[in-house]
Amino acid sequence: MATCSDDHTAKLWSFDPNGLRPTDCVATLVGHTNHVVSVAFHPRGLLLATGSVDGTAKLWSFAPNGSNATCVATLDEHGGHVLSVAFHQNGRFLATGSMDGTAKLWSFAPNGSNATCMETLVGHTDSVLSVAFHPTELLLATGSFDDTAKLWSFAPNGSSVSCVATLKGHTDYVSSVAFHQNGRFLATGSHDHTANLWRFEPDGSNANRVATLEGHKDIIESVAFHPTELLLATGSIDGPVKLWSFDPNGSNTTCMATLAEDEKIVISSVAFHPNGRFLAAGSYNQTAQLWNCSLLRDRKQRETLNESDKHPGGGSISRRKHKRSNRKRSKRLMKKNSRKKRGTISKYRWFRNER
């Protein structure tokens, strides 16, 4: 598992196959000069991508046991904070989303070196907060401060990017986007306290909202699909993680479990392990939590990362994603397009000083 933090680092953690023993930090990745806000594992190689407020993304190689992490590439072509990173399942492309209002598509060598920007995706009218690739098609989803998500198609070589759909259904920032592994659904999480489920054609066109998930009392920071089942996890700064089930057409959504019902635990990120057996949640109390999915219905069995191995700043997680806990900050106001919006202790909180 990978985590990232306001302390300018990312960490790699190991845990036993059953998640029963304390989780061990096996590597601390030092190289960014500001908050690290996003992490993602390569689907096959021993590579990790990180995105940072310092305006760069980095690619890191590491040993099979997670040790000996080394920065092999620094991607520095954005004009603002790099807020999100994601690898395509084919392993050939990396996407980055930025405060500069764009996303970029990168190619790189198998060892992570020689990273080259293939295309810059221009179309959002504000910061790109989240990026996610379709599991099989050459499609990229982006979520933005402009309250929309977009679907983009691109050629096999990473060129000829075009926007094929703009998803309008939220009334506030779209903070997280995720595709289901079956390729039929996209989930969006928003500062409007809801998540939406969308269906679309294989080419990304004709995207339609099929469900709105209501139940959180505050900003949804992160959404993640179970890799095989029709389950969606949502993480919110209201404290809990919620698990939602839905039927094959995306309707009849039901909240089947609420985890971490503690106002002191403010969730920043959620992610399932690719084998579907574990759910991880990063929080602003400088820890991440790990659940055994087979026991989720009992809401028991949880591992919290060793207190001595905390990130000093807290952040986000990635399967294979911490920020300081201070709920008073969530009552501060941010401005967007001359209208006031509720502030947040989320990874975007420092925007109020820069927008």
The sign of the dihedral angle between the CA atoms of 242, 243, 247, 249 is positive
Torsion, CA 275, CA 281, CA 287, CA 291, rounded to 10: -50
Helix (H, G, I), strand (E, B) or coil at 296: helix
Predicted local distance difference test score (pLDDT) of residue 339 = 34
* Cβ proximity of 172 and 147 under 8 Å: yes
Alpha helices (H) in the chain, listed in sequence order? none
Sign of CA dihedral 91, 36, 125, 267: positive
CB neighbours of 127 closer than 8 A, spacing ≥ 6?
Answer: 80, 81, 83, 97, 98, 99, 100, 101, 144, 145, 348, 351
| Confidence band, pLDDT 50/70/90 cuts, at residue 28 | very high
Q: Which domains does the chain have, with CATH numbers?
A: 2-353 (2.130.10.10)
- Mean pLDDT lowest for which of 51-55, 266-270, 320-324? 320-324
pLDDT, tens digit, 9 for 90 and up, residues 179-205? 999 999 999 999 999 999 999 998 899
pLDDT band at residue 15, thresholds of 50, 70 and 90?
confident
Tell me the DSSP string of 80-119: S-EEEEEE-TTSSEEEEEETTSEEEEEE--TTS-S-EEEE
Please identify which residue in the block is written with the tokens 């598992």.
1
Instruction: Confirm if 14 and 66 have CB atoms less than 8 A apart.
Output: yes
**Confidence band of 324 (pLDDT split at 50, 70, 90):** very low
Place of tokens 């098609």: 137
Q: Which two tokens stand for residue 315?
A: 């952040």
Q: Report residue 259's pLDDT band, with 50, 70 and 90 as the boundaries.
A: confident
Q: What is the pLDDT of residue 211?
A: 96
**Burial profile 123-162: b = 16 or more Cβ within 10 angstroms, e = fewer:** bbebbbbbbbbbbebbbbbbbbbbbbbbbbbbeeebeebe
Query: What average pLDDT score do residues 258-263 get?
Result: 70
Q: How far is CA 214 from CA 1, 153, 190, 318, 328, in A?
A: 29, 30, 11, 25, 24
Mean pLDDT for 6-22 is: 80
Q: Using an 8 Å Cβ cutoff, are 313 and 287 in contact?
A: no
Q: With H, G, I as helix, E, B as strand and everything else as coil, classify residue 294.
A: helix
Q: Is the pTM of this model over 0.75?
A: yes
Mean pLDDT of 88-104: 97
| pLDDT surpasses 60 at 310 | no
State the chain's mean pLDDT as an integer.
84
Paired with 199 in beta bridges are: 185, 208
Q: Write down the pLDDT at residue 121.
A: 98
Distance from C-alpha of 207 to C-alpha of 164, rounded to nearest angstrom: 9
Q: What is the pLDDT of residue 320?
A: 45
How would residue 347 be classed by pLDDT, with cut points 50, 70 and 90?
low
Asked if the model's pLDDT at residue 68 lies above 50, the reply is yes
pLDDT for the residue numbered 191:
97
Residue 290 pLDDT grade (very low, low, confident, very high; cuts 50, 70, 90) = confident
Note the pLDDT of residue 23: 73
pLDDT band at 123 (very low <50, low <70, confident <90, very high): very high
More confident residue, 328 or 14: 14
Unique residue bearing structure tokens 């690898």 = 87
Query: Residues of 193-214 as b/e, b for ≥16 C-beta within 10 angstroms?
Result: bbbbbbbbeeebeebebbbebe
pLDDT at 346 over 70: no
Q: pLDDT for 208-244, tens place per residue? A: 999 999 999 999 999 999 999 999 999 998 888 999 9
Q: What is the pLDDT of residue 325?
A: 32
For the segment 87-99, the average pLDDT, to the nearest whole number, is: 97
In this predicted structure, the answer to whether residue 174 has a pLDDT above a threshold of 50 is: yes
Q: Which residue has the higher pLDDT, 299 or 266?
A: 266
The number of residues in the chain equals 355
